[in-house]
């Protein structure tokens, strides 16, 4: 993709070019939808990095077609339609993005060596600021639609199934609108949706135990205790927070680990920290879930190490995905060093 349409700081280069070319009207019309377009592309691809490029491509395509926009639909619908087809084109040449638990292997031995899957395009986390809607009443639904478990389950669907399910069940489009958007029949959309829902139900974990909202007092208290356990290097204290069947995974490593004791053993075996103060964590929200950015001691400071995204329920933390891709720290607006 041309570097001329990549983002530069808080204002996109594309927006500047539009203003220079007398297309400020388009920029003013389209820019308010950038964040929700980013969330839409993330649901489709599972990649924050790819989604940023796809949003830029979407806005470029929309800019070129703006003089032909007849207003038969809302600008929001029109932009989502372009974004959907931009994603479908991109996904033709890209593999699905799993988490380690999605690879089909059983849980791993926490005392064994870590094995890196360098050639696997891993699912990435998503910052709260990019998905937070302007309407507070929509926050809960927006968070649910970017939860890691949901986006990971979407990876089991074909690209067209993903598009249909997201447009129908997340954006609440009518079947006829979806059919028109992706160039198929209403009957085909209904068939794709039925199969997608069935596969999603099989791939997603049970929803019997509702997740705790990340900004609730209970979640904030648990996250504070989770952070304190690492910063004090009191790893055994984590057993008070983890459920008995909790899962820990660390992309890009292929293994995943189940059970509080296995997780404690793994951390003692593999974590480079040795004493209190070696780790510092910043509380945050990612994928509509409690999260923390972990920094590891390096000389007289601390440098990025992992991003932890937590599944938190009434009875404890049931899953931690610790992303080791430190390039994500900048995407979350996190400092380069503490």
Domain over 217-331 is classified CATH 3.10.450.50:
yes
Q: What is the pLDDT of residues 157-184, one digit of tens each?
A: 999 999 999 999 999 999 999 999 999 9
pTM value surpassing 0.85: yes
CA distance 213 to 210: 9
pLDDT surpasses 60 at 326: yes
Query: What per-residue confidence (pLDDT) applies to 208?
Result: 56
Per-residue confidence band for 140, with pLDDT thresholds at 50, 70 and 90: low
What pLDDT band is residue 74 in, cutting at 50, 70 and 90? confident
Residues composing the chain: 338
**Segments making up each domain of the chain, as ranges:** 1-94, 217-331
- Beta carbons of 48 and 125 less than 8 angstroms apart: yes
- Residue 321 has φ and ψ, to the nearest 5°, of -110, 115
Given the DSSP bridges, would you call strands 301-313 and 242-249 parallel, antiparallel or unpaired? Answer: unpaired
- Distant-in-sequence contacts of 28-36, Cβ < 8 A, 24+ apart: 29/75, 30/59, 30/62, 30/63, 30/75, 30/79, 33/75, 33/76, 33/79, 34/59, 35/129, 35/130, 35/131, 35/132, 36/76, 36/131, 36/133
CATH architecture assigned to 1-94 = Orthogonal Bundle (1.10)
- Tell me how far apart the terminal alpha carbons of the chain are, to the nearest angstrom: 34
pLDDT of residue 130: 52
Q: What is the pLDDT of residue 66?
A: 81
pLDDT at 277: 96
Enter the tokens of residue 186. Answer: 């209403």
By C-alpha distance, which of 166, 175, 177, 213 is closest to 313? 213
At residue 49, the 3 state secondary structure works out as helix
Least confident of 65-79, 98-112, 174-188, 281-295: 65-79
Q: What is the pLDDT of residue 8?
A: 37
Asked if the model's pLDDT at residue 323 lies above 70, the reply is yes
Structure tokens, 277: 């103060």
Q: What is the chain's mean pLDDT, rounded?
A: 88
- Provide the pairing of β-strand 316-323 with 242-249: parallel
Going by the DSSP 8-state scheme, the letter that residue 108 receives in this structure is P
Answer whether residue 67 shows pLDDT above 90: no
Q: Is the pLDDT higher at 212 or at 217?
A: 217
Distances in Å between the Cα of 146 and the Cα atoms of 156, 266, 289, 300 are: 15, 28, 9, 37
The domains spanning 1-94 and 217-331 adopt the same CATH topology: no
pLDDT exceeds 70 at position 199: yes
| Residue 167: exposure state from Cβ atoms within 10 A (0-12, 13-18, ≥19) | buried
Query: Is a pLDDT exceeding 70 seen at residue 232?
Result: yes
């Amino acid at each position: 993709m041309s570097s001329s349409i990549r983002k530069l700081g808080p204002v996109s280069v594309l927006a500047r070019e539009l203003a220079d070319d007398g297309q400020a009207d388009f920029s003013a019309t389209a820019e308010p939808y950038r964040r929700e377009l980013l969330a839409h592309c993330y649901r489709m691809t599972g990649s924050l990095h790819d989604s940023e490029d796809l949003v830029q491509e979407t806005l470029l395509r929309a800019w070129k077609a703006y003089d032909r926009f007849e207003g038969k639909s809302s600008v929001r619908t029109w932009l989502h339609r372009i974004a959907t087809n931009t994603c479908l084109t991109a996904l033709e040449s890209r593999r699905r993005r799993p988490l380690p638990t999605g690879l089909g292997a059983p849980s791993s031995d926490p005392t064994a060596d870590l094995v890196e899957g360098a050639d696997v395009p891993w699912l990435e986390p998503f910052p709260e600021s990019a998905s937070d809607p302007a309407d507070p009443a929509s926050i809960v639904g927006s968070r649910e639609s970017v939860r890691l478990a949901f986006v990971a389950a979407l990876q089991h669907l074909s690209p067209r199934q993903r598009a249909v399910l997201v447009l129908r069940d997340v954006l609440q489009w009518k079947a006829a609108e979806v059919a028109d958007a992706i160039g198929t029949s209403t009957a085909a959309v209904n068939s794709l949706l039925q199969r997608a829902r069935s596969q999603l139900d099989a791939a997603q974990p049970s929803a019997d135990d509702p997740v705790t909202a990340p900004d609730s007092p209970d979640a904030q208290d648990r996250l504070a205790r989770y952070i304190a356990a690492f910063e004090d290097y009191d790893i055994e204290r984590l057993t008070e927070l983890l459920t008995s069947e909790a899962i820990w995974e660390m992309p890009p490593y292929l293994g995943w680990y189940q059970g509080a004791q296995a997780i404690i053993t793994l951390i003692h075996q593999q974590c480079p920290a040795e004493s209190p103060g070696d780790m510092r964590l910043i509380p945050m929200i990612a994928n509509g879930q409690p999260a923390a950015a972990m920094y590891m001691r390096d000389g007289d400071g601390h440098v990025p190490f992992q991003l932890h995204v937590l599944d938190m329920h009434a009875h404890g933390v049931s899953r931690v995905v610790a992303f080791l891709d430190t390039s994500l720290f900048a995407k979350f607006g996190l400092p380069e060093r503490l």
